[in-house]
Amino acid sequence: MKSRVLTVFCLVLSLCAAQGKTSTRSKKAPAPAPKSKVAPAPKEQPAILGTTFEVNGWPLKAALVADKTEIMAGEPLFLTYQLQNAGRVPLTLRRTPEATCLGERPLSISVTVADANGQVIPLPDHPAPRTEKSVATEQSFLPRDKYSARLLLGEWATLETPGTYTVTATRTASLNEKDKEWIEGTLHSTSSDVVTTVSTKIRVAAVDPKQFAAKIDALGAKMLEGKDEEAMPAAQQLAAYQDDRAVPFLIRAAEGKEGWLQWNAIQALGRHPIESAVEALGRKLNLGGTDLGYGKPEDAERIAATIREDAAHALLMNRHPKAAELLAARRNDPSSDVRLVVVQSLARSKNDAATAVLLRGISTQDPDDAVRQAAIAALK
């Protein structure tokens, strides 16, 4: 779902000719200044407009910015959480991986949405958010550096009623002085934490059916044209729509050869519990290396296994009853990652006698220990 690149502007150094009074006697023109061998210094990033926080004497600024301040009911909306080093001390910021798939909520940021009366909108029921191993990393956080995270509002609230809503994002920032050893959980801890909470308001208008359909058609056309500068943003927007009119476009992207668009479409189809979406995912779940028609056999098999894993995760999210049947049929898939998703799916109906038999067989016969252990845990 997914680029966090710090924009760096280069400062162009110009050489100015010396100006002075001319004399009546002729002079040789001054020799040109030698070219600098020093790389131009980057411009500082502009200060963000946001709320100021402070920890350990280090000032920070945080903000929550919506791509648009007004949307139609049911229209997806992306927001950006921003955090900036507003001081002069070079720091290090600890971060955890953000969500990479639709249906996930970022591990490090929590979001609440409230209506005009302060009533908090309940979280949508996500049947199976894909979980990745969370490994915290540190990144340089120099003065004016900015950390950003993209957030899809629909992961926290479904807004179907017109009105004004307040969106609030909370993130705990863990900071340290740059190049200082990161020590935590002791009396000599060097890191400092600060809770940043920022809000923004959005307005939800009533749906205009024709305009809504036109938006989906326009995004689908841009995505399928394949021009990167337009296709990728359009694909992200289209994938966020839960309107089933987006499905035909997503199926075409999933069947295409463009890897990123294919991955994005497969993830999005998991959010549409209709037969055409599930059938498209089923085709991907049965993909073999020879079906790709390119690359060395071993490379093709590896790529096909990755696509099957993505399709398995999407089917795990899908509410259509046929999704579970398709997954169960792949319990002997060559990929242990796919078989692990199959166990997760079977675990939902472990009280069913036939399912329990399948889980018991997997718990003793699967060649991968992680899959066997998952099956044992599912039977408890």
Residue range 5-28, pLDDT digits in tens: 333 333 333 323 333 333 333 444
Domain end call among 176, 205, 234: 205
CATH number of the domain encompassing residue 58: 2.60.40.10
pLDDT for residue 279 is more than 60: yes
More confident residue, 296 or 143: 143
More confident residue, 6 or 248: 248
Residue 58 within a domain: yes
Reported confidence tier of residue 110, pLDDT bands at 50, 70, 90:
very high
Residue 335 within a domain: no
Residue 135 within a domain: yes
In this structure, of 97-111, 241-255, 318-332, 339-353, the range with the lowest mean pLDDT score is 97-111
Residues 79 and 177 in one domain: yes
Residues 237 and 187 in one domain: no
Please state, in angstroms and rounded to a whole number, the distance separating the CA atoms of residues 42 and 144: 11
Please state, in angstroms and rounded to a whole number, the distance separating the CA atoms of residues 17 and 85: 38
Residue 75 within a domain: yes
Residues 74 and 184 in one domain: yes
What is the token pair recorded at 341?
A: 């998703």
Domain end call among 205, 235, 268: 205
Residues 175 and 238 in one domain: no
Residues 267 and 311 in one domain: yes
Residue 259 within a domain: yes
- Residue 204 · residue 72 · CB < 8 Å: yes
pLDDT for residue 125 is more than 80: no
Residues 288 and 142 in one domain: no
Query: What's the domain count of the chain?
Result: 2
Q: In which residue are the tokens 């359009």 written?
A: 234
Strand partners, 170: 110, 197
More confident residue, 310 or 191: 310
Residues 232 and 91 in one domain: no
Report the chain's mean pLDDT, rounded to a whole number. 84
Percent of the chain as helix, strand, coil, to the nearest 5:
35, 20, 45
Residues 281 and 161 in one domain: no
Instruction: Assign 370 to helix, strand or coil.
Output: helix
pLDDT for residue 182 is more than 80: no
Q: In which residue are the tokens 């998952």 written?
A: 374
Residue 179 within a domain: yes
Residues 104 and 81 in one domain: yes
Burial class (CB in 10 A: 0-12, 13-18, 19+), 301: middle
Residues 239 and 304 in one domain: yes
Phi, psi of 96 (to 5 degrees): -110, 155
Residues 154 and 217 in one domain: no
Residue 126 within a domain: yes
Residue 130 within a domain: yes
Domain housing 254: 209-330
Residues 187 and 244 in one domain: no
Domain end call among 205, 238, 264: 205
